[in-house]
Amino acid sequence: MSTAKKQYKRITVKSLQEMKLNNQKIAMLTSYDYSTAKLVDAAGVDVILVGDSASNVFAGHETTLPITLDQMIYHASGVVRAAQRALIVVDIPFGSYQSDSKEALRSAIRIMKESGAHAVKVEGGAEIKESLSRIIQAGIPVMGHLGLTPQSIYKFGTYSVRAREEEEAKKLLEDVALLEKIGCFAIVLEKVPAKLAEIVSNNTNIPIIGIGAGPKVDGQVLVVNDMLGMNKEFSPRFLRRYLDLESEITNAVQQYVKDTKDNSFPSEKEQY
Ligand code: KIV
pLDDT tens, residue order, the chain (272 aa):
455 778 899 999 999 999 999 999 999 999 999 999 999 999 999 999 999 999 999 999 999 999 999 999 999 999 999 999 999 999 999 999 999 999 999 999 999 999 999 999 999 999 999 999 999 999 999 999 999 999 999 999 999 999 999 999 999 999 999 999 999 999 999 999 999 999 999 999 999 999 999 999 999 999 999 999 998 899 999 999 999 999 999 999 999 999 999 999 999 999 99
Helix (H, G, I), strand (E, B), or coil: what is residue 261?
A: helix
pLDDT of residue 165: 96
Q: How far is the CA of 138 from the centre of ligand 1 (A)?
A: 24
The closest-lying atom of ligand 1 relative to the alpha carbon of residue 53 is 1
Q: Are 265 and 256 in contact (CB under 8 A)?
A: yes
Q: How far is the CA of 129 from the centre of ligand 1 (A)?
A: 20
CB-ligand 1 contact for 89 (6 Å cutoff) = no
CB-ligand 1 contact for 211 (6 Å cutoff) = yes
Q: From the CA atom positions of the chain, what is the Rg in Å? A: 20
Q: Are 248 and 228 in contact (CB under 8 A)?
A: no
Instruction: Tally Cβ neighbours within 10 Å of residue 42.
Output: 13
Burial of 244 (0-12, 13-18, 19+ CB in 10 A): middle
| Domain boundaries 13-241, corresponding CATH code | 3.20.20.60
pLDDT of residue 53: 98
CB-ligand 1 contact for 221 (6 Å cutoff) = yes
**Residue ranges in 44-183 assigned as alpha helix (H):** 54-57, 69-82, 101-115, 129-137, 153-156, 166-182
CB-ligand 1 contact for 51 (6 Å cutoff) = yes
pLDDT of residue 3: 57
Q: Are 86 and 48 in contact (CB under 8 A)?
A: yes
pLDDT of residue 4: 72
User: Is 62 an active-site residue?
Assistant: no
Distance CA 211, CA 150 (A): 12
Nearest protein CA to atom 8 of ligand 1, as residue: 51
Nearest to 174 by CA among 219, 220, 129, 221: 129
pTM metric for this prediction: 0.96
CA angle (94, 180, 221) in 5-degree steps: 60
Q: How far is the CA of 166 from the centre of ligand 1 (A)?
A: 25
